[in-house]
Amino acid sequence: MKRILFAALCLMLAIGFAALGVWQVERRAWKLALIERVEARIHAAPVALPPRSAWGGDMAYIRIRISGTFDHRAETLVQAVTDYGPGWWVMTPLRTVNCTLTVNRGFTPSDRRDPASRAAGQVAGPVTITGLIRASEPGGAFLRSNDPANDRWYSRDIAAIARAKGLGRGGSASRCVAPFFVDADATANPGGLPIGGLTVIAFPNNHLVYALTWFGLAALSLGGMVMVWRKRA
């Protein structure tokens, strides 16, 4: 009886492991399609901002070109760690004809947090920005929650930043606030700061290894079941 139960357990484990292996194969196909789609988007020619009717869809990493005027008074600094070391992402609203978008203008080191220390980069007047659409990062970072009341930000939570800075108030251009942000490209800013073009695009793809592991465990479970039945015979 114990051998029968053990063999049944091995069979159940084999089925479960095989199912997990199939799931990882499906995940791998999805990941490869995602990587291909993103690669195509980031290397495509920039397009105009998609219409509001498309904002609820998949727009991540679409390369766009937009024109407007920065509202430096509503600048938000979000903690960042880059190849340049620790510092801040400079998130600045861009007022366009139809909408307000938050632009991640790039990185500034900790000792240049004060806008007065990088005054040359606080561009006035109309500008044209090329960059990648990025999804909002709500909540905060690992073990760190955003604190809008004290203007402490650990993630680029666009909805919270818009509320804290009052971006949806007053003026025709601010009635519409985009729920995403734009990572500016590496076009140099006056004075050298902020430093744009630091978008990290990395999609770990270990699904094949995981799939082989699950299928291997399924094979071992079947082998155990066969050994038990042979011993019983």
Tokens standing for 38?
């993103």
Amino acid 143: pLDDT: 80
Distance of CA 161 to the CA centre of its chain: 17
Amino acid 173: pLDDT: 46
State the amino acid at position 180 in one-letter form: F
Q: Burial-class residue 152 by CB neighbours within 10 Å (0-12, 13-18, 19+).
A: middle
Q: Tell me the C-alpha to C-alpha distance, in Å, between residue 96 and each of 100, 184, 209.
A: 6, 15, 47
Amino acid 172: pLDDT: 44
Question: Per this entry, what is the length of the chain?
Answer: 233
State the amino acid at position 17 in one-letter form: F
Bridge partners, residue 90, by sequence: 77, 106
Tokens standing for 232?
């019983």
* Average pLDDT by stretches of 10, the chain with 233 residues: 76 90 93 92 94 89 96 95 94 92 96 94 94 93 89 95 83 71 95 94 88 90 77 59
HSE (side-chain half, CA atoms, 13 Å) at 155: 18
Amino acid 149: pLDDT: 92
Residue 135: phi and psi, rounded to 5, are: -75, 150
Nearest Cα to Cα of residue 195 among 104, 86, 95: 104
Amino acid 112: pLDDT: 94
> Residue 159 CB: number of other CB atoms within 10 A?
12
Nearest Cα to Cα of residue 89 among 106, 112, 72: 106
